[in-house]
Structure 1
Amino acid sequence: MKTLVTTAVMAGLLATTSLAVAAYPERPIEMTVPAPAGGGTDTAARKLATILEEKLGTSIAILNVAGGGGAVGATQFLRAKPDGYALLATWNSPLTTVPQVQKVAYDAASFTPIASTSETAYTLCVKADFPAATGADFLAELAAHPDKYTYGNDGIGGTMQLAAERIFQAKGVKAVAIPFGGAGETLQNFLGGHVDIYGGSISPVIPYVQSGEAKCLIVTSAAPVAALPDAAGLASLGLGSEETLLWRAIMGPKDMDPATVETLTKAIQEAVNTPEYVAFLATRGEIPNVVTGEALAARLQGEYDALARVAKALGLGN
């Protein structure tokens, strides 16, 4: 009799556990965005959240926690419970670039990697009268005149600077980095003639490429980018291994339940690949890219290690 009772109790517990897992999510989810409202990461997160709400059957509240290049929000997120009701919608810089130049309380292992969502390249552009017509010509011009040209970027030790320096160091060329407060500020200084080269995200510079005022000669992805057909992808320059992208991901707190992660991963993958979200990304020069679990963890670590080598060569460090 005792064995039968024990078996019945165990069966009941297993059934209850199964129902609890299947019921996720039972309440609203809070999604932390470590950036100001209205920016690229915030806009992408809000759009994705509206689609995820339908997939998961619950509401998602966005919490913007800006500061420190994303480090403030990522640090605050460390206090979240690993129950699936707290998510971090971030871009890669707070996890792989910021730790190169400032001390942070986390590393990649501090989070549960759930899924990346989209990606895009950065680009290097010049004015129409610059003495180069191709990516190879551009690098040859810089090689012939070390430190003659200045390039605007997203700040000392920012992702754009490290992306550019990966290319320059691999080719043995030198240009002078001029830091600004993001792509918008970089673009205005480039258009105003205060720097020779625009280094930043693609979407802000496209109108000036279309008008003929600027020409983009290199993208920081291995493959070319459809939005900039005249810009060389790094593979064509023999630099495919030096690819640096701006990409976005959904992370969770450390030690999340695998079943919850699986539910979220499936929902995110479905949401990212909806025609609605794909069309939204296209307007921003981004493409869907879902990398999950251990593969996402490996991507984070690989990028961190590559950028660490560049930062060290530049004499940067936290």
Structure 2
Amino acid sequence: MTLKATFIGLTAAAAMAAPAFAEYPDRTIELTIPAGAGGGTDTSARKLALLLEEKLGTSIAILNVGGGGGSVGASQFMQAKPDGYALFATWNSPLTTVPQVQDVAYSLDSFTPIASTSETAYTLCVKADFPVTTGADFLAELEANPGKYTYGNDGIGGTMQLAAERIFQAKGIDAVAIPFGGAGETLQNFLGGHVDIYGGSISTVLPYVESGEAKCPIVTSAADVPALEGASGLEALGLADKETLLWRAILGPKDMDPAVVEMLANVIDEAVNDPSYVEFLATKGEVPNVVKGDALGARLQSEYDALAEVSKALGL
């Protein structure tokens, strides 16, 4: 084939591809959420979807597929066509934590990272009369009493347990992990006196902190969290490298068109930073955090590797 013929062929191909991309999206997008309706990821994704509908000029249909800590929805979604009309709204656990403790049909390479949306810390909280005031006091109390205290978490090998154990292992702390079916169930058992320490998301326990029934001496982020005044971030405790966050993201199936991925990432960025969404996140103790494309893929891999080390140390 001559150089001229090659150029003509490439030009024709580009001319055919351009209108197809220019018309995207021209039909409904299906957004899979690997959790039941009403949870943190579901409510965040639905709020974001309303803004994305306005910006993309198309409707977004929500499909909740719960089960297996998010693995059922993730396994089902990886079979979707990479045409931009199937998106996946998830939190990090199904991708970086669940594969550490159970066999799953997917890997990080099964998805196209588009953009993260928001993040928040987990927290460890105690009753108001627990004999500590600061995060340093809290860790010292646990270190001085190996095996004495129990902490509720989101299940064996769940992100909360691994987040706590990253901190505890660094300080030589032996606390007893008690698994529950999520932050709500953990909270009920904490308030009922069945565990000494609540381990879970901030939004779930925040009303009880505000009422004075509980106090949270530590969060799992490096920085302090404004919503929990008095809680120590890990940087202040010399443990910044042990940070573990709960964060959310939008992914696509493997092998999506890079041009569509870039366009969606930019639209998601606009929606996440819309004042109404920022205000919504604040009510949940979350903040916007947009990481796009390859950088998001690197974040997923880094967290997966870090949690794999903790999981191995725990024998999970």
TM-score for the superposition, normalised by structure 2: 0.96
Query: Which stretches of structure 1, 4 residues or more, deviate above 2 A after TM superposition?
Result: 2-16
Change (3 A) 1:54 1:149: same
Paired position in structure 1 for 2:111: 111
Change (3 A) 1:185 1:4: closer
Paired position in structure 2 for 1:90: 90
Paired position in structure 2 for 1:50: 50
Paired position in structure 2 for 1:308: 308
Q: Report the Cα distance in structure 2 between the residues aligned to 1:294 and 1:66, rounded to whole angstroms.
A: 27
The 5-angstrom pairing of residues 241-256 of structure 1 reads 241-256=241-256
Change (3 A) 1:162 1:13: closer
Paired position in structure 2 for 1:211: 211
How far residue 212 of structure 1 moved from its aligned partner, in angstroms, is 1.5
Identity of aligned residues (%): 76
How far residue 16 of structure 1 moved from its aligned partner, in angstroms, is 2.7
Q: Report the Cα distance in structure 2 between the residues aligned to 1:102 and 1:7, rounded to whole angstroms.
A: 51
Q: Report the Cα distance in structure 2 between the residues aligned to 1:280 and 1:211, rounded to whole angstroms.
A: 21
Paired position in structure 1 for 2:184: 184
Supply the AA of the counterpart residue of 1:210. E
How far residue 20 of structure 1 moved from its aligned partner, in angstroms, is 1.2
How far residue 14 of structure 1 moved from its aligned partner, in angstroms, is 2.8
Q: Does 1:27 align with 2:27?
A: yes
Deviations 1:6-26 (A, max 9, x none): 977764543232111111111
Give the aligned length.
Answer: 315
Deviates further, 114-123 or 202-211: 202-211
How far residue 4 of structure 1 moved from its aligned partner, in angstroms, is 9.3
Supply the AA of the counterpart residue of 1:103. D
5+ residue gaps, structure 1: none
TM-score for the superposition, normalised by structure 1: 0.96
Is contact 2:126–2:198 with CA below 8 Å preserved after alignment? yes
How far residue 253 of structure 1 moved from its aligned partner, in angstroms, is 0.5
Paired position in structure 1 for 2:299: 299
Q: Report the Cα distance in structure 2 between the residues aligned to 1:201 and 1:259, rounded to whole angstroms.
A: 35
Supply the AA of the counterpart residue of 1:260. V
Q: Report the Cα distance in structure 1 between the residues aligned to 2:219 and 2:8, rounded to whole angstroms.
A: 63
Q: Report the Cα distance in structure 2 between the residues aligned to 1:39 and 1:261, rounded to whole angstroms.
A: 27
Q: Does 1:234 align with 2:205?
A: no
Supply the AA of the counterpart residue of 2:295. A
Q: CA RMSD in A?
A: 1.6
Supply the AA of the counterpart residue of 1:93. S
Deviations 1:208-238 (A, max 9, x none): 1122211100000000000001100000000
The 5-angstrom pairing of residues 140-151 of structure 1 reads 140-151=140-151
Paired position in structure 1 for 2:72: 72
Deviates further, 83-92 or 16-25: 16-25
Supply the AA of the counterpart residue of 1:202. I
Paired position in structure 2 for 1:132: 132
Change (3 A) 1:241 1:10: closer
Change (3 A) 1:37 1:19: same
Deviations 1:51-103 (A, max 9, x none): 00111111110111111000000000111011101001000000000001000
How far residue 27 of structure 1 moved from its aligned partner, in angstroms, is 1.1
Is contact 2:262–2:293 with CA below 8 Å preserved after alignment? no
Paired position in structure 1 for 2:63: 63
Q: Report the Cα distance in structure 1 between the residues aligned to 2:157 and 2:11, rounded to whole angstroms.
A: 56
How far residue 204 of structure 1 moved from its aligned partner, in angstroms, is 1.6
Paired position in structure 1 for 2:157: 157
